Structure 1
Amino acid sequence: MITLHHLENSRSQRVLWLLEELGLPYEVKRYARDPKTMFAPPELQRVHPLGKSPVISDGDVVVAESGAIVEYLVDSHGQGRLKPKGGTKEQRRYTYWMHFAEGSAMPFLLLKLVFDKVSSAPVPFFVRPILKGVAAQVGKSFITPNLQRQFAFIEAELQANEWFAGKAFSAADIQMSYPVEAAAQRAGLDGKYPAVAGWLARIHARPAYQRALVAGGPYDVTP
C-alpha cells in the first residue's frame, strides 16, 4: 500500500487528490507545521533526508517532490489515465504545465510571501520604514507585474481550453492546483481572471477533490 507523508496546508494536498482520482489504496501519516516557524517537523527527516513533504513510500520505493510523485503515480499506477497520449499536442501541453507549476508560477508566489513577511517583521522602529519601503518597491516593480503577466497568460490558456492539457482533465490540472489556489488566497484574483475562477470551481467540485479534503484535514495555503 502507498503511504503518503502529509504535511498540513502544503503541496501534499494535491498528491492526496491524485490518489483519490486514481482510486488507489493508501494511508496517510499526518504532520503538523511548527506554529512559530511554519516549517515541517524534524521527524520528517526520518522519511527523507531533506525533511520535507510530500513524500510517498510504495513498497521499497520512496519518492519526494510533488511533481515527481505525480509523475510516478500516473506512470506506475495510472493505467493510461490522467495523461494524454504520447506524441500529441495535448501531451506537449501536459508536459509544459507540469513543469510550469513549480518552475514558473511558484517562485514569484514565494517571493511575494517572503516580502510580505519582511514588511511585517518585528524589527527596531527606525529600521521598519526602510524594510517596508524596500518590500513595497520590490513588490510593485518586480513581483506584482510578473504575477499579473503569468495570470494573464493562464487566463488566456483557460479561455481557449477547459483544462490545462486541452479538452480532458489530467494530472497537469492537479499539479497546477497549488499555485493557482495559492495565488487566489495570497494575492487575490480580483475578478480579473474569470476563466481561472471557473477552472477553480470545476476542480473544487470534483468528488475526488472533496474526498481528499476529508482525508487530509483542513487545507489553507494562506500563510
Structure 2
Amino acid sequence: MLTIHHLGISQSERIVWLCEELGLPYTLQHHTRDAVTMLSPPALKALHPLGAAPVIVDGDLVLAESGAIVDYILAKYGGGRLVLGPDHPDFAQYLYWLHFANGNLQPVLGRNMVLRRLNLAADNPTLVATRGRLDLVLNLVEARLGVAEYLAGSVFTAADTMTVFSLTTMRTFFPFDLAPYPHIRAYLRRIGDRPAYRSAMRKGDPGMEPMLD
C-alpha cells in the first residue's frame, strides 16, 4: 500500500487528491510545518535529502516531486484513468496543462511571493516584470477555461489535480484576487463539487477551508 507523506497546506495535497480520485488505498502520514519558520520538519529530510513534501513510499521505493509522483501513480495504478492517450484529440492539451502548473504557474507565484516579502518599491523593474508575468499566466488559464470545462478539455484529468493547488491553497502564502477571472472561479466551484476533492481536503488539511473563490 502507498504511504503518502503529506505536509499540511502544501503541494502534497495533489497526491492525496489524485489517490482519492482513483479510489486507491493509501496510508496518510501527516507532517506539520515549524510554527516559526513554516518549513518542513526534520522527519521529511530523513525521508528525502530535500526535506520537502510530497514524498511517497511504495514498498522499497521512496519518491519525491509531485509531478514525478503523479506520473508514477498513474502509470502503475491508474489503469488509464485521468490521462489522455496519444490517439485522443486533446492529448497535446493534456500534456501542456499537466506540465503547466510546475512549469509556469507555480514558479511565477513563488517569485511574486518572494518579491512581495522584500517590500520593494512598486515601480521596481523586477517586481513590475514579475507581476506582469503573473497576469499573463492567469489570463492564459482564464482563456482556456473560457472554452473548456477542464484544463485538458471536456473531461477531468490529472492536469487538473496538478493545477488546482496553485489557484487555491497557494493563496495562503501569496494572496491574489480571482475576481477578474470568472472562468477560473467557475472552474474552482466545479472542482469543489467533486467528492474526491472534498474528501482529500478533509483528510489532508481538516482545519482548512478550501479557497475556491
The answer, yes or no, to whether TM exceeds 0.5 is: yes
Q: Which has the larger radius of gyration?
A: 1
Could you list the per-position Cα deviations for residues 93-112 of structure 1 after superposition, in whole angstroms to 9, with x for gaps in the alignment? 11111111011111211111
> What amino acid is the match of 1:144?
R
Stretches of structure 2 that go unaligned for 5 or more consecutive residues are none
Return the offset for 1:154.
0.9
SS across alignment from 2:189: helix
**Which fold has the larger relative contact order, with Cα–Cα distance below 8 Å and residues 6 or more apart in sequence?**
1
What's the RMSD between the two structures over aligned residues? 2.0
Change (3 A) 1:212 1:59: same
Partner of 1:155: 142
Change (3 A) 1:221 1:42: farther
Partner of 2:29: 29
Contact 2:149 2:187 (8 Å CA) reproduced: yes
Matched, 1:178 2:161: no
> What amino acid is the match of 2:190?
R
The list of structure 1 runs, each at least 4 consecutive aligned residues, that deviate by more than 6 angstroms after superposition, is: none
Contact 2:112 2:127 (8 Å CA) reproduced: no
> What amino acid is the match of 1:18?
L
Contact 1:9 1:220 (8 Å CA) reproduced: no
Matched, 1:201 2:189: yes
Name whichever structure is richer in helix by fraction. 1
* Matched length: 209
Partner of 1:95: 95
Normalized against structure 1, the TM-score is what? 0.87
Normalized against structure 2, the TM-score is what? 0.91
Distance 1:12 1:92 in 2: 25
Partner of 1:71: 71
Stretches of structure 1 that go unaligned for 5 or more consecutive residues are 120-131
Sequence identity (%): 38
Return the offset for 1:41.
0.7
Partner of 2:10: 10
Distance 1:163 1:47 in 2: 34
Matched, 1:145 2:132: yes
Distance 1:72 1:6 in 2: 17
Contact 2:9 2:169 (8 Å CA) reproduced: no
